Structure 1
């Protein structure tokens, strides 16, 4: 096994496409019933036109006219054969037209040969080409497409367990990772239109320029599908900005990490979970997108626990914390919209956050009561006597959101009403008040009213299942220029 991991040079060049001979070319395979059916038509065509037949699976099929062996699938791959039989017209070495499957009318029109195989059915659909077989296509992409990968290769001996090798080299987050073979990385790159060598971001703490290819390697290791790659690339771009301050997030001793909040129709297209257990286990897209970002920071940026990552306790959320908003059913829009993205645009927000804390209120049926209840819970973010230093995301569940929606409260009013119950006097918050040394400096002692969060620091999302009047509170790390700011980006495919 060969694993591309880091720095180096391409290993193989693209294989030149075999030139098709002039005249007519047919690609078949014996296991295709339609290909077997058209054998009489092939024999008749060979009597009237220059005909070349390529066979994908059996060199002796058909016997007449004799086929050329394409069991390597070189011809089929390079000439993009997706269905067999495929009939191609070639002039001066260039394809000018083709038809797929068997249709007497289409074959007669393309070749100019009339009364073709009158005993056959008028038409039959073809079969899938072996060159697009899911079990073969990844290896064919590497064999014939030419490696676009620049990463150093690591040879794994036949007797060596690649999983254990990656644990021993420190490439994992404590859980097994998928070996990023060349076939898997090339398949992952098919999920984006970006060039593999394009620089995505400069990754802290080591400030390493990371390419699309390197992100794809991390995405393979995390267990992503190719269609997740644009989301991972966007998350890496957003997290590796000065505003987000990933280096500071690693170096702090607080138990915080990047929280990725995704929204837009693309979340549903790739099967992300915004409903029951959205913040938990069980959904491949949610977990692997978040995990891929963490593996990028760890393996390429050098952000390893016990080294630059100095968290005193850490958090399970530091393995992966990524979820989708239910923006298609949300009564008050989405977080990305609050940060400037238009409706219908796929986007994500990275937020420097802790693990979630449950907000329980089973009894409030009036919005005023529920707003006060949320405010009471939010007072405790990080510490009840610390204010304006930390932002927060409220992941409101459907049943709590319904209380506000039924009363006609929009996002702005919900935030305003909750915030109005968060103000406290400086005398309550000052250091030493209530016999608690923690608190705001003495200079704030005379203030009549101090807010818990800075303007824009209380943010709303909408996700979760409908079984229970629960929401989730995600407390933030130090905000602003000295800490981290939420960063929102549209997804670029």
Structure 2
């Protein structure tokens, strides 16, 4: 809504410079009045009005009227307007748009006529013939001059709407809000010397992940916060290992650094909530020497609205949403929680997913219930599931034509998770490609059927899983089900023959469909120490 100063109001004082650097101040007590003409180059209504202001200038300046053009453009574009209309009145540059913002108009041209003290006598924005004639008459009366005439008055339209003021351009509005302190950001401000590269500065402060990060300026953070309805000071979670509070603002700052768009912010917030639960055990995921890292799986309508990749090159490069959402969580854990490599993050080898790992399930090509529906959410609800996973491993089967055979192939591959002799494992994420999914679909093979088949083909007698001279790695006695042990704590003869599947429970095999429609390759991501001593996948709804 326009807040252009109206009759009898005091017009804000200002001092601007012309293209050659000369200073022009308002109000001017030496003038009989002032006429302010706000304009920009790319505006047809401004082009209509500018020659009419020139008529007023030529007619009334000899009687003491001060005419000031106030351009919302730079010097080059302003010169183009001056030359196009052969303007001879003084034109100033509102480079930072501070004056335009203070005058509060929505559209240009905006005209403000004042008396010698700066009190408004007439004002309007856009163009109407009636307002032009009334302003001309009022201006002439204030100068003691005759009313100016316009040679083309009959050719002028009765009305023409103005063009949007540059003040309302989103980037400009954010800059103005920051410059005038109209923000509620609570983060500490850090000033970077103009002589210092901001990317190098961020790296020197230890705020990056080894790749350059986007400097989180106030303008960028304010833009990011537009992606959520939550208050910036709301605490999303306490981030391990330091259990530092992560407010919505801090999440937004790290999302900016990661390169997120504002519409990704709700996903990052939900992922943060999920990763910081006791069930997920983020501190343990960080401190382990294993490969585990937060893996984010997105389900529901938001996948499409933010352009999240669910298809070919699923775990690869080239998709901003996938690349930056996972990175934002990793940066948040590092910068807010203190989870830095070599400090709390003690992974022996690490893996590329520690930079980022975020994928979407390709629900549209699957006959199965999506992952989030299995975990208790409606199909049209958007969710994130955060899973402590290692890097994807290949499942190659281009020959199986039956669901049973393909399930066996998958089971044999999954048996290698961590080590073939370690059974009774916790969670694993199985990513079934669309071609493999169609093989199961043709036979009506359900996820439950696939889980049962994997458990069947991975089952081994306990005696084959215990350490021996041939391979000293194997199941520790503490991991053997107690019912298979005798009173001496050793396996009974029957216990040695007991068949143990790879996974502790069928439901620990998390299944999703994803990837390109061509190629009979699936993948699995092994989990880490599931259970009370480890990490469990956590699903959270994504809200605005």
What is the TM-score with the length of structure 1 in the denominator? 0.80
Give the equivalent residue in structure 1 for 2:519. 468
Give the equivalent residue in structure 2 for 1:114. none
**How far, CA to CA, are the matches of 1:20 and 1:419 in structure 2?**
77
Moved more, 461-470 or 138-147: 138-147
How does 1:470-485 map onto structure 2 within 5 Å?
Answer: 470-485=521-536
Provide structure 2 residue ranges, at least 5 long, that are not aligned to the other structure: 9-35, 55-68, 112-123, 130-152, 486-490
Give the equivalent residue in structure 2 for 1:452. 502
8 Å CA contact 1:429–1:440 kept in 2: the answer is no
Instruction: Using the TM superposition, give the Cα deviation of residue 440 of structure 1 relative to its aligned residue in structure 2, in angstroms.
Output: 4.4
**How far, CA to CA, are the matches of 2:534 and 2:377 in structure 1?**
24
How does 1:39-438 map onto structure 2 within 5 Å?
Answer: 56-57=72-73, 73=97, 119=155, 127-133=163-169, 136-144=172-180, 146-432=182-468, 435-438=471-474
Instruction: Using the TM superposition, give the Cα deviation of residue 414 of structure 1 relative to its aligned residue in structure 2, in angstroms.
Output: 2.6
8 Å CA contact 1:141–1:186 kept in 2: the answer is no
The alignment partner of 1:456 has SS state of helix
8 Å CA contact 1:18–1:75 kept in 2: the answer is no
Residues 102 and 274 of structure 1: CA distance in aligned 2, closer, same or farther (over 3 Å):
farther
Residues 264 and 83 of structure 1: CA distance in aligned 2, closer, same or farther (over 3 Å):
farther
Instruction: Using the TM superposition, give the Cα deviation of residue 335 of structure 1 relative to its aligned residue in structure 2, in angstroms.
Output: 1.4
8 Å CA contact 2:108–2:165 kept in 1: the answer is yes
Structure 1 residue 21 corresponds to structure 2 residue 12: no
Q: Report how many residues are paired.
A: 451
**How far, CA to CA, are the matches of 1:325 and 1:84 in structure 2?**
48
Residues 467 and 123 of structure 1: CA distance in aligned 2, closer, same or farther (over 3 Å):
farther
Provide structure 1 residue ranges, at least 5 long, that are not aligned to the other structure: 1-16, 44-52, 88-98, 105-116
**How far, CA to CA, are the matches of 1:434 and 1:323 in structure 2?**
40
Give the equivalent residue in structure 2 for 1:9. none
Which string of whole-angstrom CA distances, capped at 9 and with x for unpartnered residues, describes residues 48-101 of structure 1? xxxxx99745799999xx9999765458668997765699xxxxxxxxxxx998
Which string of whole-angstrom CA distances, capped at 9 and with x for unpartnered residues, describes residues 341-369 of structure 1? 21111111000000110110011111111
Which string of whole-angstrom CA distances, capped at 9 and with x for unpartnered residues, describes residues 3-37 of structure 1? xxxxxxxxxxxxxx9664269x9985343014434
Residues 78 and 424 of structure 1: CA distance in aligned 2, closer, same or farther (over 3 Å):
farther
Give the equivalent residue in structure 1 for 2:542. 491
What is the TM-score with the length of structure 2 in the denominator? 0.73
**How far, CA to CA, are the matches of 1:140 and 1:485 in structure 2?**
46
Structure 1 residue 439 corresponds to structure 2 residue 424: no
Residues 139 and 405 of structure 1: CA distance in aligned 2, closer, same or farther (over 3 Å):
same
The alignment partner of 1:149 has SS state of coil
Instruction: Using the TM superposition, give the Cα deviation of residue 119 of structure 1 relative to its aligned residue in structure 2, in angstroms.
Output: 4.3
Instruction: Using the TM superposition, give the Cα deviation of residue 446 of structure 1 relative to its aligned residue in structure 2, in angstroms.
Output: 3.2
